[in-house]
Amino acid sequence: MPSGRQIKKEVLAALAETNWDKKIYKLLEVHPAQSLIAPLFSSLCDISEEVRWHGISAFGIVVGRLADEEIDRARVVMRRITWMLNEESGGCGWGVPEAMGEICASSEAMASEYGRLVLSYIHEEESKPENFLEFTMLLKGAVWGVCRLAQSRPDIAAPAFDDLVTALKSHDPATVGIACWGLGLLGNTEAAVHLRKLKDRDEDVVIYRDRSLVKTTVGQLAGEALGKISGDQL
């Protein structure tokens, strides 16, 4: 039986490949899904941006499989993720809100149990208990997680509409661009007035969508979202 170290090496090597997803499915044929979880958490801290994002996508594949086979084990993974986003954990949580969003986007069972929790990380409400992530990098990841959920399950993500509109006011261009993407996916026509104000913003941003890193601008993302909302093809 291969050691945990060997499995980690195989997983990280797979995530570095162009056809990483096929290799992850291949690993699931020879290793239990549970054995890939620790290596995937390690991938979130990899020096390669592509490996980190592939790891996030792989969480959806692997935990989705785990939810189908042993849902209690999938719940353990989600509890670990929520703990890592808790201030008391002492961890940094890099990539963790994105992984949670990806898992819920990929698994109906996980979305039904944890989808609203994904939304809570971008919702700020004074004088009430909240999970809002104040740190810019974590908040950006949480906004991405909500948008990824909106891509697969817009009905669950719909209550985050106002919070995504609020994210358009962020000082971080990447967060603004990601929020544009999400608002386009939700298709709520009330977003149009906010998106039109961003069409001329030319800050470069890199966004991970459909398992690829794409360089674009805030204005292009706003225009794309407006096109989706109006039904026009850009």
Is 50:16 a contact under the CB 8 Å cutoff?
yes
For residues 93 and 137, give the distance between their C-alpha atoms in angstroms, rounded to a whole number: 10
Residue 37 sits at the vertex; the CA angle it makes with 35 and 43, to the nearest 5 degrees, is: 125
pLDDT of residue 173: 98
For residues 174 and 177, give the distance between their C-alpha atoms in angstroms, rounded to a whole number: 5
Name every residue whose Cβ is closer than 8 Å to that of residue 166 and which is 6 or more positions away in sequence: 124
Handedness of CA 42, 7, 61, 112 (dihedral sign): negative
pLDDT of residue 2: 76
For residues 73 and 64, give the distance between their C-alpha atoms in angstroms, rounded to a whole number: 11
> Region 109-134: what's the mean pLDDT?
91
Confidence grade of residue 130 (pLDDT, cut at 50, 70, 90) = confident
DSSP conformation class of 212: E
Give me the half-sphere count of Cα atoms (radius 13 Å) on the Cβ side of residue 217: 9
Q: What is the pLDDT of residues 61-109, one digit of tens each?
A: 999 999 999 999 999 999 999 999 986 655 568 899 999 999 999 999 9
DSSP conformation class of 16: T
Confidence grade of residue 172 (pLDDT, cut at 50, 70, 90) = very high
Q: Is the pTM of this model over 0.85?
A: yes
pLDDT of residue 77: 97
Q: What is the pLDDT of residues 141-156, one digit of tens each?
A: 999 999 999 999 999 9
Confidence grade of residue 163 (pLDDT, cut at 50, 70, 90) = very high
Q: What is the pLDDT of residues 174-232, one digit of tens each?
A: 999 999 999 999 999 999 999 999 999 999 999 999 999 999 999 999 999 999 999 85
